[in-house]
Amino acid sequence: MDKLKRESNISKLQVAIIFGGAGEEHPVSVKSAVEVAKNIDTEKYEPFYIGITKSGEWKLCESPLTDWENGKPVMLSPDRSVHGLLVIERGQYKTIRIDVAFPVLHGKHGEDGAIQGLLELSGIPYVGCDIQSSVLCMDKSLTYTVIRNAGIATPDFRLVAANEAVDASRLIYPVFVKPARSGSSFGVSKVSRKEDLPNALKDAGQYDTKIVIEEAIVASEVGCAVLGNNGDLVVGEPDRISLSHGFFRIHQEAEPESGSENATFIVPADISAESRSLIRQTAKAIYCALGCRGIARVDLFLRQDGTVILNEVNTLPGLTSYSRYPRMMAAAGLPLSEVIDQLVSLALK
């Protein structure tokens, strides 16, 4: 059915689901949108799927499943009187009012405050963190600074520019070299010898002009899904990443749906009740300290002595069939359909 013919349906909330994007996490975003399309309650919501191509074109489509790039040209109007979309059809603009937006976007332009700023201008409520918390969480150096000031441990790190000369002999190895503002392990390298540092810096520099060099933490990698606003938070069952070798690189496999080449996800995590409680409380504290709202996944390191250290915060975590966030929430009794329902409600509050 033509989306434009459905705009008169006022019995359901009109939800704009935005996916794709021009960043490196474009394919992951499309897969997340597919899962949202499968799980959104169409008895309550009228979804309008807006795909952003790799070149940055916005397309109104029937679904993110197939052939969405051939959809109708569309744009989000910053004019609050429109409060929605401008669809270009036969040389004319038609409007579709949108009640709430769900940016199913990851990484650059999705989690860094860019789409959030556009939605703020439009006056449309949206799912997830606001501009300020999106910026803080996207930049690892800013995240670490805020969290340290909140009294929570982070790795020791050094911030350098992509073209900055770094004296490799002054570092204590191993270290991780990361783009400060990227996701899904793109451009991340573990460096065990000073001779390998230049290539790692070059690789990270492909994704960002700011690079973080941080200590390699010897610990288990765990995560916690968080849902809610302010202090009224729901947390999923923590997970643990079991590595056979190397380090965890999500979404780097050719077919991640078939599993990771070196990682197994254990949900609920096979850890003590004390550690599980600490992880959940620390995740909540981090979420609040960074001003998060709606949704985030907090990734931590769990040391053998039972202490935890922040790894990173993802403000629009993957919602794919193999992603960690929906698995953790499902283990806590919240299937993705209910997560979507709560996220829309939270956005409208």
Give catalytic residue positions: 28, 31, 106, 251, 257, 297, 318, 322
Provide φ and ψ at 106, rounded to 5°: -120, 145
Q: What is the 3-state secondary structure (H, E, C) of the chain?
A: CCHHHHCCCCCCEEEEEEEECCCCCHHHHHHHHHHHHHHCCCCCEEEEEEEECCCCCEEEECCCCCCHHHCEEEEECCCCCCCEEEEEECCEEEEEECCEEEEECCCCCCCCCHHHHHHHHHCCCECCCCHHHHHHHHCHHHHHHHHHHCCCCCCCEEEEECCCCCCHHHCCCCEEEEECCCCCCCCCEEECCHHHHHHHHHHHHCCCCEEEEEECCCCEEEEEEEEEECCEEEECCCEEEEECCCCCCCCCCCCHHHCCCCEEEECCCCCCHHHHHHHHHHHHHHHHHCCCCEEEEEEEEECCCCCEEEEEEECCCCCCCCCHHHHHHHHCCCCHHHHHHHHHHHHHC
**What does the alpha-carbon distance between residue 176 and residue 241 come to, in Å, rounded to a whole number?**
18
**What does the alpha-carbon distance between residue 8 and residue 319 come to, in Å, rounded to a whole number?**
30
| Residue 305: both structure tokens together | 């002595």
By the 8 A CB rule, do 300 and 224 touch? Answer: yes
Nearest residue to 224 (alpha-carbon basis) of 237, 213, 233, 214: 237
Sequence letter at residue 321 = S
Q: In this structure, are strands 220-229 and 189-191 parallel, antiparallel, or unpaired?
A: unpaired
